[in-house]
Structure 1
């Protein structure tokens, strides 16, 4: 018999959709990276979207600044720490590992892709894909996944809830990045797709690793054999000679 140290982070009813999501998102990241490689100016779509959101004033600019902070190092650490603390309070260590791993791999992927693509904004600032957008999308997907399982949402409602959370989070951070002039719109699309491509792989790795560790622990005997707990061989030989001497003396 095997057991789980908590429910799977990726429910079985969502696996097919997540695999499909990753298969669609990964090519988008690569194609956009190839199209905008080594560029330093916005193209037509970027200019149109920037014109639509440029010049945002209070209170929406404050909203954009707060949203942007969630993707900054300090804000990201606080957000991850809060989610991990919630997972541990709910006694779901696998989910805590998933959050840390998912956030790390998503941000790490965007960090590795930026110098490869070489797209810049405001001088030499690497911009593609947007790490802020990828991070918040990943957090939203992971939290909604865990919430859907915790709330016992059905297949249809749970799937809609998870994808809606990822879409809203990506759109919110993408808007903030363009409104503040930190990224081109296509950078944020690339960041959003990066999270969609990385999260399914992360969930599969976390579940598979946790299940293997559980199976390994379950295969150990409940009480170790005597030789596991006995002393060195010389000590055991001495004990046998002492027992033989006591038997002869009696």
Structure 2
């Protein structure tokens, strides 16, 4: 006996759409990275939206921005991820737990690599800004949680796609707003972070499913 197979973290009905979105997001990340490589000031698009400074917002909204920002800091992010992983394990969804850890790890690693490659800075040469790691983290977490939730729903493909994209957009927008409001990033940094997560998470989900299904198939062959 091998037990009931674990549900895929990337629902088959969403693979085509999310694959297309991931490809487009990757293109945006590259284009923005090329446009702002080595820059140390806001671009034209950034100026249209807001000129980021340390006091772009005043209390009480500044306090909200600080709290949101904390959720993307190492301590806040670790607490969120840890709670989600524990919840997955309590529900006996080991594949989902692996997906969350891998998704966050790959997203954060990708943003750090891109920051070094692009070299865009804000408020000094040591503050690499593109893409926004906080925005990428928040988007990735929301995207992963919605994927795991919709995988257990009976909704149709269109409804699932709308739910997944809406959750990712809201989370990315809120964290992106906080980063820009606190003067930590340019608006295009936030957009780059959002697109980084949208490109990385579906690919990570597909790889986790492939690896898990491969191990399951190997286990079934051993039982025969």
- What is the match of residue 93 of structure 1? 94
* Alpha-carbon shift at residue 5 of structure 1 (Å): 4.2
Give the unaligned 5+ runs of structure 1: 223-250
Question: Structure 1: how far apart are the matches of 2:86 and 2:223?
Answer: 33
- What is the match of residue 131 of structure 2? 129
- Note the 1:171-250 alignment, pairs <5 A: 171-221=173-223
User: After alignment, is 40-49 or 121-130 more displaced?
Assistant: 40-49
Give the unaligned 5+ runs of structure 2: none
- What is the match of residue 24 of structure 2? 24
SS of 2:151 mapped into structure 1:
helix
- What is the match of residue 10 of structure 2? 10
Residues 8-62 of structure 1: CA deviation (Å, up to 9, x unaligned)? 0011110011100111001110010000000001122212322499632222111
- What is the match of residue 168 of structure 2? 166
Q: TM-score, normalised by structure 1?
A: 0.84
Residues 124-150 of structure 1: CA deviation (Å, up to 9, x unaligned)? 210001110001100000001111123
* Alpha-carbon shift at residue 3 of structure 1 (Å): 6.5
Conserved? CA contact 2:41–2:122, under 8 Å? yes
Question: Is the alpha carbon distance of 1:90 and 1:173 closer, same or farther for their aligned partners in structure 2, counting shifts above 3 Å?
Answer: same
Question: Structure 1: how far apart are the matches of 2:153 and 2:23?
Answer: 28
Q: TM-score, normalised by structure 2?
A: 0.94
The one of the two structures with greater contact order (alpha-carbon pairs below 8 A, sep at least 6) is: 2
* Alpha-carbon shift at residue 153 of structure 1 (Å): 2.6
* Alpha-carbon shift at residue 97 of structure 1 (Å): 0.3
> How many pairs does the alignment contain?
222
Conserved? CA contact 1:10–1:203, under 8 Å? yes
Q: CA-atom RMSD, angstroms?
A: 1.8
- Note the 1:62-77 alignment, pairs <5 A: 62-77=63-78
- What is the match of residue 156 of structure 2? 154
